[in-house]
Structure 1
Amino acid sequence: MLKGFREFILRGNVIDLAVAVVIGAAFTAVVNSIVANVFNPLIGALFRADSLDTAFILELPTTEGGVAEVKFGAVIGAVLTFLIVAAVVYFVFVLPVNLAKEHAEERRKAGEPAPEDPETELTVLAEIRDLLAAQRTAGSGDGDGDAREARRPE
């Protein structure tokens, strides 16, 4: 029983998953910090509010004499936060990594000879046609070509 548990824990997939969770948590902290400390204050300055949670509030009277608040700013803030997080992830992390991969791939390919075009059905059929034509012309001088011509339906 302990042997099976040890094999399960030491599998590469479990270790990779654990590393991914830890890195993901650290990555989330970095992205949230960028959004909270850079972009949210800029947006708040544009709307003259500490945050969008306090902007665009619609107060509606309730039947009990109280006030219900509809916070459109909070919804807008959540949507903007999502878009900002997506933009930060893309432009700060994904785009540079993709560009680095492309650059490394180009450097690797620069040292390799260009690959030949793969054979297509058309090139294979053209080769077969040329071989058959060569056999016909070679076979026409030995008398067999006439026999083949006689068997061919018209």
Structure 2
Amino acid sequence: LQPGNVLEAAEKDPEYFSMLTEEDKKTLAKFAETGTGGGHADFKETALTFGTNPDLVRPDKFDAEDGRYPAKFGFPAEFGINTYADWLINNPNVYEGYAPIGCTATIGEAYLKLSVDRLAKIFEYVKNYDMCEQVMEELKLQ
């Protein structure tokens, strides 16, 4: 889910997403507009963690260091070998990408609600997919 998806859903059904403050909506709009949301522990992952385990999120670390890959430690990556240790050295705050500044527990709750709703629709679709038997038979033939 992108920040724009959550903002769009909140605009369509403000009552369902009533937990979002005006400041939350501004934050979602900013991240949707700039597209600065990719990477590990980015805005999306931080929001979902806020929604499920808020005690694991450290907002005080959001702007401690830029999470864009600084390549402080090139070996052994310069030889095409990537290791977890290399990643940790280059990303000491364990996030990679743009800092999720402004992400809140209420944004996390909205992300979680929308994620659950989307997953329920996928399960409903698969459950009612009338070609399951045909697809399974075709897969057996391969």
Q: Using structure 2 for the length normalisation, give the TM-score.
A: 0.27
Computing the radius of gyration from Cα coordinates, the structure with the larger value is 1
More helix by share: 1
Q: Using structure 1 for the length normalisation, give the TM-score.
A: 0.25
Which structure exhibits the higher relative contact order, with contacts defined as CA atoms closer than 8 Å and separated by 6 or more residues? 2
